[in-house]
A and B are shown apart, each in its own frame.
Chain A
Amino acid sequence: MIPFSTLSERHLVYAYLVVWILQFGYAGWLAVQWKKTPRD
């Protein structure tokens, strides 16, 4: 169970989520652009 009751616990969870959302979101955007841009 993820601790989420205090402000510190919530902000720790948010910080990790922000990292994954931004990094994997960016990689997802790259994948979409890669598919949309023809090679030749």
Chain B
Amino acid sequence: MRFVTGPTPPPHDRIKPVKDSRKSTSLAGIWFGLTMLVMAYGFYQAMVAPKEATMGNLYRVFFYHFPHTILSFIFPYINCVASLLFIFWRQSKPELAAKADAWAVASAEITVVYSTVGLATGMLWGRAAWGIWWAWDARLTTYLLLWLLYVSYMMLRSFAAGGQTAMVASVLGVFAAIDVPICYMSIHWWRTQHPAPVFGGGDGSGIDKSMASAVLWNVAAFLMWGIFILGWRYALERRRQHQDNLATEAMLRGDIGSENA
């Protein structure tokens, strides 16, 4: 007797073919169209908002920097919840665990995209406003750590071999989310190079009414965009899981077939 020595079948070994119904495709198309409209209007608002008193036009970076940074604090929580659900369901409900794992992968990747934008726009703004690209202050350092944590999560997903990759990545995802509140609160707790919070920062914080609509439209635009690419990335991951499952089944069938022959 010969034992089958292939890779451990993934926990999502009973997943069904992915259904890309015409209804969900049309819904995605409508959502994409609306997102483009809101994004275009947000850009228009960002350009017509009045100049800022000290920074002039340069402050318009804020209209893109702020939504990306705030949203990069939200996607890690989707990853954290999905990772926890994967850990809880991996034995008892493998199909639900596979869906949770797909949400975890999708949200981690979107976190990397949004935090990369947050870092890049912040550095470009910092160089022009402060004269330096980078400062090792609390906000910037904890934000860089956030980016590194989710890049390492994605590298783990891409390069690790074996059947435990999803489990190890889930544990990393749960712990990585701990950096989010530390990073968010860093500008409340410590007074360093990064400016104090614009919203909710106490006396003297806030933004002029004439600039507020540009902030809100761009937050809405990049939130809608984030939902769109998150859903698309999730659907892609479900397709990949299905393909991996088919490949594993074919390999196992092949081994059994050669044994009989």
Contacts and interface: CB of A to CB of B under 8 A. Distances in A.
Interface size class of B (residues with CB under 8 A): 20 to 34
A7 B125 CA distance: 10
Contacts, number: 72
Interface string B204-224: 000000000000000000000
B57 A39 contact: no
Q: Is the interface of A mostly helix, strand, loop or mixed?
A: helix
A14 B232 contact: no
Interface stretch (B72-80, B81-89, B135-143, B235-243): B235-243
Interface in B1-29: 17-18, 20
Interface of A: 3, 7-9, 11-12, 14-16, 18-19, 22-23, 26-27, 30, 33-34, 37-40
A36 B116 CA distance: 26
Interface of B: 17-18, 20, 55-58, 60-61, 64-65, 68, 113, 116-117, 120-121, 124-125, 127-129, 225, 229, 232-233, 235-236, 239-240, 242-243
A14 B240 contact: no
B128 A11 contact: yes
B240 A12 contact: no
B229 A11 contact: no
B93 to A, nearest CB: 24
